[in-house]
Chain A
């Protein structure tokens, strides 16, 4: 027999609970978070959100918040996350 050391380190004993999912019918406020500012090669997230906004409005969503990350390779900054914190859901994308 050989004794082993687990190469993954300490495994998590508990997983985090997901944020509540209100469902499309209950959502009143939706956020759009684009991964980077637009340029000629994309992303094309802004026109895509216009399409999504129309669909969400038909479901009863009344308010839309839009944020653009300064650079796609890092998480959104704290101030942006705070501004989106009141949303019932956030759509994050790039559409490149």
Chain B
């Protein structure tokens, strides 16, 4: 190793140059990875990635919690190089990070919480095809595509290296989340409904949404008659609603936002029955509810509806003295996010509960550059 600059502070500086074979051990020695091996952040690779972003290398994207160190485009590119990103992946990584740094997302809390949630990066629109992203089998773990895995991994490494969050220092996750290694999903293009980001009010060819959520919980279609059933789609939705209102979900107790991912065949079936994405959201908001008396229990198992049992975060529309009050799992229909992805072999759905009312709320941003050329004016909600 040569020329290690003395930048001071609590961290040992990364040497400016090494022999290629020195990187794996150096990365562990300097705590530059969360345990998985990485590529070295070579200057030549980083420069190509920066060029791919179309942004100046020194542009500050924001302070990344919990350390508060500033992520410049070059630093993000260094982490993307470690993740194996290609230059065309950089706009997605940068856009995801910008979305995560919006106050609404509360990245500081998401990183450090006891809860097993992590920012899911959802890519929708033209970029999915242009980046050759996987959308079918194994989509929640990258589907074997470089883009999915590298983008999700780059986001993770930025939070690790720039944000500095480590287990117990100060990350308090009780169990953790396997998606912390990489958590990126691409929506299947060409489905019956407009791209996911349009339901979020962003009119663009491509967009990136970040949403902090748990891993996918299977909602398999057991017990639903599929043959000759003209209302099979509706019955699938009833089944998803049942999965969404599980008593241990934070959503059941605090509302917030929640994600449903359905396979393309489910989306086609629903569309054939006349369902739009919006009508699906409305239906789920009405059906994914749980009786108050089954949500909060006294020590003897009865409904906890006394003055001291109130959840202060619920809206006034919930009568907290009525054990039969039906409590929705999300603040509104629009807070139930519906994405189409997964294999086309079997109709299926998965539910990703969230951190409830505490943060990690979905933020959608149009992709810059050709992939995100706007089709209409639209802003990020």
Contacts and interface: CB of A to CB of B under 8 A. Distances in A.
Contacts of B70: 9-10
Contacts of B113: 73
A interface SS class: loop
B42 A15 contact: no
Interface in B239-286: none
B19 interface: yes
Nearest to B297: A40
Interface string B78-93: 1101100000000000
A7 B8 contact: no
A13 B10 CA distance: 8
Interface residues of A, number: 23
B308 A4 contact: no
Contacts, number: 112
Contacts of A14: 8-9
B361 to A, nearest CB: 11
B7 A40 contact: no
Given A5-B42, A39-B312, 10 more contacts: A4-B41, A5-B78, A14-B9, A37-B312, A40-B296, A71-B357, A72-B358, A73-B106, A73-B113, A73-B355
A8 B10 contact: no
B78 A6 contact: yes
A4 B72 contact: no
Contact of B41 (A7, A12, A38, A40): A7
A3 B7 contact: no
B358 A8 contact: no
A50 interface: no
Given A8-B11, A40-B309, A3 B42 contact: yes
A82 B24 CA distance: 47
Interface of A: 1-15, 37-40, 71-74
Contact of A12 (B9, B17, B19, B162): B9
A1 B42 CA distance: 10
A4 to B, nearest CB: 6
B18 interface: yes
A40 B18 contact: no
A38 B32 CA distance: 39
A9 B296 CA distance: 47
Contacts of B2: 1
A11 B44 contact: no
Q: Which of A7, A10, A11 has the most CB of B within 10 A?
A: A7
A7 B10 contact: no
A5 B41 contact: yes
A86 B313 CA distance: 30
